[in-house]
Amino acid sequence: TLQLTLAIFKPDIVSHPHIVHQVKNMIHKSGFLFIRSKRMHLTRARVQDFYKEHEGRFFYNRLVSFMSSGPISTHILARENAIAEWRKLMGPTKVFKTIHDEPESIRGRFGLTDTRNSTHGSDADETAKREIHFFFPEFDIEDWYSEC
């Protein structure tokens, strides 16, 4: 059965269309479907809201500055086991370790730093629902699941 997850292409790759192109190819090759896509430029307040569980962490301010520094694109992806599979394709958060451990992953190939790590993915079913709703409030998740 298909599962939905939320993917974000962060400003560090959105400013490089050839990298976005390669990332999309990797996503297609891994068997994901793109259900909805949107490009946007978030305000600091919107980013703070999105990442509110990280408030107070040492990297929070730089994360908020980075994510509001330029356009992002957000995507609802579908696949069997989409949440775990998208996280596997991205590779671990910390880029310098990932470059050694998972060099073929998205972050291994394109990540620049622990903050500018190219992509984001939901970490669990409830988070995916919250994050999809955050960017696609008009998308009816329950209706989508009941149709497939």
Known binding site: residues? Answer: 10, 59, 87, 93, 107, 117
Q: Which is nearer to ligand CMP, 28 or 62 (CB)?
A: 62
> What's 80's DSSP letter?
E
Q: Which is nearer to ligand CMP, 4 or 64 (CB)?
A: 64
Query: Distance (Å, rounded) from C-alpha 38 to C-alpha 75?
Result: 7
DSSP letter for each residue of 85-129: HHHHHH--S-HHHHHHH-TTSHHHHH--SSSS-SEEE--SHHHHH
Q: Is 100 a catalytic residue?
A: no
Task: Choose, by CB under 6 A, the member of 15, 33, 45, 59 that binds ligand CMP.
Answer: 59
Q: Which is nearer to ligand CMP, 68 or 93 (CB)?
A: 93
Q: Which of 21, 41, 120, 133 is catalytic?
A: 120
Query: Distance (Å, rounded) from C-alpha 76 to C-alpha 90?
Result: 15
Task: Determine, following the binding rule CB under 6 A, whether residue 7 of this chain makes contact with ligand CMP.
Answer: no
**Residues within the interface to ligand CMP (CB under 6 A):** 54, 59, 63, 93, 114-115, 117, 120
